[in-house]
Structure 1
Amino acid sequence: MRLLPLALLFALAACAADPEPTSAEPDAAPDTDVAQPAVAVSAEAAANHALGVGDRAPDFELPDAMGQTVRLQDLLVDGPVVLTFYRGAWCPYCNTQLRDYQDALAQVEATGARLVAVSPQSPDSSMSMAERNDLAYPVLSDAGGEISSAYGLLFQVDDETRARYHAVGVDLERYAGAAPGTDAAWALPVPATYVIDRSGTIRAAFVEADYTQRASPRQILDALGEVG
């Protein structure tokens, strides 16, 4: 039986500490400070109001792991874009998902599409993750969660869950692009993957409050086949 590295055991424990999503939680109150991204009170609330099929994908400019700016509209000039939001390098489900996408990258690019991953972690954390997983597609840093919020995916990690994360050695502030000690450092996107056509319209949306459920490469390829 193969033993798991201690860091991975801590990360799995942190994921296990996540509260089960419930549909009974209310939506977040509107944020009156326009300078701050809108943050839902739970992953379930965010997933229920996230952008979906037929919506216009908000444009963005974000730095990649090397500090180079990547703009969605520039990518769409060449074809569809597969845009995936993940929680961070500390999440084993995210690592597995992004490695699976790397394995399918040649098939995705054969359709004429580009693959891009976005998380709220800092560029340094994104670089470490990209190197560790041998990722050959852009991994972008959405510090503060503004873009995750624009897609309706951002939610606040509650105090109880923060305490559970700390108890197993996972501190999101170590990875976050937002300022340490702020609520923004404890805001995460619901894991989501979008297929966006060249006009900027969302043609497929895989949004799931359950962090263990991710869009498979097969689902992405099937969606790209329908985009044409």
Structure 2
Amino acid sequence: MTKHDPDTIYDRLIGTLVADLHRRRAGHDAPREGSVFPAFRLPDERGVLCDLSQVLARGPVVISFIRGQWCPYCQEELASWKNAIPALQAAGTTLICITPETGGAAKAIRSSVSPEFTLLCDVDHGLSLSLGLAFHLGQAFIDQYKADGVDLAAIYGSAAGILPIPATFALDRDGVVRAAHVEPDFRIRAKPDDMIRALAVPAKG
């Protein structure tokens, strides 16, 4: 147990970080509603490559970028997606969660949620960077995490100090973004019901 008040320290660090990300318009260039989500291919937790086009061939897709199971806010989001699996299945929608974690950590995420979703590993944050969803956390935050036992370099296999902005996209079967939740404040996550509802509404035009 640390001797400091972790809530006070993290509240201050989060406030500074979020304000800076908003000032820099982090995530502004991410895919928007009405755009076609860029094609990608990523490995799953077993190392098997998965192509977005192949998943879309089966129907609509919800894509959620998370930081990893080490993050308590991601744990809450994963729990909400676990509860939403039946509704996603009823809507014929596939859930894809994308994390920078690999190996055993990625397998742990999959086992904690459901076999009925796809977990992909964004190695070295390549996809997040290409979509404008990655940012440098800053040394103060990195040091505080490490002091509290969260070593991002060990978790991600890189000392770059990069994290993804948690973001969620609902894609129709043509890959068009029907809803997008991109929020630099990583405490605020998309609601599964909103994503499912967006896919149920007929496309305009």
Which bin holds the TM-score, normalised by the shorter protein? 0.7 to 0.9
For 2:105 and 2:197, the matched residues in 1 are separated by: 31
Alignment match, 2:190: 215
Aligned length: 197
Whichever residue aligns with residue 199 of structure 2, its letter is L
Question: Does the CA contact (< 8 Å) of 1:14 and 1:165 recur in 2?
Answer: no
Change (3 A) 1:227 1:26: same
Question: What does 1:122-141 correspond to in 2, within 5 Å?
Answer: 122-134=102-114, 136-141=116-121
For 1:23 and 1:193, the matched residues in 2 are separated by: 21
Question: Does the CA contact (< 8 Å) of 1:79 and 1:198 recur in 2?
Answer: yes
**Counterpart among 151, 154, 162 of residue 187 in structure 1:** 162
Question: Does the CA contact (< 8 Å) of 1:85 and 1:191 recur in 2?
Answer: yes
CA shift for structure 1 position 136: 3.1
Structure 2 residue ranges without an equivalent (≥5)? none
**Counterpart among 145, 149, 159 of residue 165 in structure 1:** 145
Whichever residue aligns with residue 19 of structure 2, its letter is T
Q: Does 1:49 align with 2:29?
A: yes
Change (3 A) 1:59 1:122: same
Deviations 1:121-160 (A, max 9, x none): 1132110222234453111100111111222211111111
- When normalised by structure 2's length, the TM-score is 0.86
For 2:12 and 2:66, the matched residues in 1 are separated by: 17
Q: Does 1:19 align with 2:18?
A: no
Identity %: 30
Structure 1 residue ranges without an equivalent (≥5)? 1-5, 28-44
For 2:21 and 2:98, the matched residues in 1 are separated by: 28
**Counterpart among 200, 206, 214 of residue 175 in structure 2:** 200
Whichever residue aligns with residue 67 of structure 1, its letter is G
Question: What does 1:64-103 correspond to in 2, within 5 Å?
Answer: 64-103=44-83
